Structure 1
Amino acid sequence: MKFLILANGEYGELDWYRKQQGFDRVICADAGASMALQIGIEPQLVIGDLDSIGKKELEQLKTAGCRFLVYPVEKDYTDTHLALMLAEKEGATEVTVWGGTGSRLDHTLGSIFSAAVLAEQGIAVRFASPAQMIYLVCDELRLPGCPGETVSVMALVGRARGVTLEGFYYPLSGVTLETRSTLGVSNVITTPDPLIRVEQGILTVFHYPTVKKRSEAGGQSGGW
């Protein structure tokens, strides 16, 4: 089952989200429900402490038949983490997160690390937005991308072994990446829909469709 989670991070151009379809279940993490209403989506369930949703929006969601799982404000998990755990519990095979990243780096990292548990269970996880796509890969990913677009790959926890990149300006074959390494930062797609493979561990793939680079410019870890 394909699950969509709407969190309370940054979204950007909302028309991009309105064009995305094909989800079986929609879960909102607290104020992600407000974004769902703005986009024009009616979620099946809202989870969290509900401290960021207005009364008018709550009534609109209740009228639409939305279920609520309410947690206290003082809890051990973020609302997004709770939504991810619920998706796993309810049989998700794919999870897409909107609004899972933003200016709060602690929340961004918390969401990515908590999603790693799902990836380890074989659930395909991605954080999607118009400007950035983040994939958690435990085996193989055929990345939907075009030549010239920027991609970075990093080990999420500890080491990612047997990392292979095909269709990139800087290819890799069976390489071990460590969390503390920037070897995989700022690569460039040279072939449509390139292949990314990892034999052991979790690889975090950052894809920036709007960031174009000439393949011959700079080194692999150029940039910041």
Structure 2
Amino acid sequence: MVLANGEYGVMDAYKDLVKNVDLVICADGGANYAYYLGINPDYIIGDLDSITAEIREYYQLQGVKFKKYPRSKDFTDTQLALSLAEELGADDIVLVGTLGKRLDFTMSNIYAGLDMAHSGKKIKHYSPDCTIYLLTGSLRLEGCKGDLVSVLALSDQVQGVCENGFVYPLQNAVIEKTNPYAVSNVISDDRAEINLSQGILLVFHYHGNR
């Protein structure tokens, strides 16, 4: 789990999520939110200009490992956190605090997982309102009938897209960046699945929204 310094919304929504992770990495100010959630992260990484002095001192006393980088650097703190996760062998990564606040930061955080998704790692961004998946193979969505789901091509073209369990099913569709038509689909069954044969697809699953 990677905690970034973005928008979180209702903090209680993350408590169950935190229970099921083996490794926690905070990207700089993400450590502030880890503190509010009662988490002792394994690592805090970045230029450390967003973590508060009090929380930094607290985690230092707890023996948390810090990896400090200069403020003028060629990578974002989220990129550094993902690189560390990959170095430590993580293959299923959930990022929180990576959506909202600023559109450029949101897009940068999504793009930061491209290489790992290409290499077969599972990458998703979670918020209480929406979960975004970087999909390269197959995905079973745990949701409710009526949930909104949109898909967009992250690579130039995504081939063999199938959507089952939706109001508007797709079978072996081709989705391109230049024709983003596959938005606002609706889950129609207890089991909804998305599959593709080639490319990277962004899957937006809105929880309980219609």
Q: What range is the shorter-chain TM-score in?
A: over 0.9
> Map of 1:56-205 to 2, 5 A cutoff?
56-205=54-203
Q: Please point out which of 7, 28, 41 is paired with 1:10.
A: 7
| Aligned residue identity for 2:48 | L
Amino acid of the residue matched to residue 18 of structure 1? K
TM-score normalized with structure 2 length: 0.97
- 1:47 match: 45
Secondary structure of 1:210's aligned partner: coil
CA displacement, residues 96-121 of structure 1 (integer Å, 9 cap, x when unaligned) = 00101112111111111111111111
Counterpart AA for 1:10: E
Q: How many residues align?
A: 209
**Unaligned stretches of 5+ residues in structure 1:** 213-224
| Paired AA for residue 90 in structure 1 | L
Quote how far apart the aligned CAs of 1:135 are. Answer: 0.5
Instruction: Please say if residues 144 and 208 of structure 2, whose CA atoms lie closer than 8 Å, have aligned partners that are also in contact.
Output: no
The AA in structure 2 aligned to 1:185 is V
Task: Return the alpha-carbon distance in structure 2 between the equivalents of residues 188 and 116 of structure 1.
Answer: 26
Cα deviation 1:96-150 (Å, max 9, x = unaligned): 0010111211111111111111111111111011101001110000111111000
Cα deviation code 1:20-63 (max 9, x no counterpart)? 22101000000000000011111010000000112111110111
Partner Cα separation in structure 1 for residue 71 and residue 171 of structure 2: 47
**CA displacement 1:150-206 (0-9 Å, x = unmatched):** 000111120111100000011101111011222111000001230100100001000
1:89 CA displacement: 1.5
Matched residue SS, 1:35: helix
Which runs of no fewer than 5 residues in structure 2 stay unpaired? none
User: Alignment identity in percent?
Assistant: 44
The CA distance in 2 between the partners of 1:40 and 1:193, in whole Å, is 34
CA–CA separation in structure 1 for the residues paired with 2:176 and 2:110: 17
Which amino acid in structure 1 is aligned with residue 79 of structure 2? H
After superposition, the CA RMSD in angstroms is: 0.8
TM-score scaled to structure 1, two decimals? 0.91
Distance 2:134 2:24 in 1: 20
Kept in 2: contact 1:119–1:125 (CA 8 A): yes
Query: Where do 4+ consecutive residues of structure 1 move more than 6 Å?
Result: none
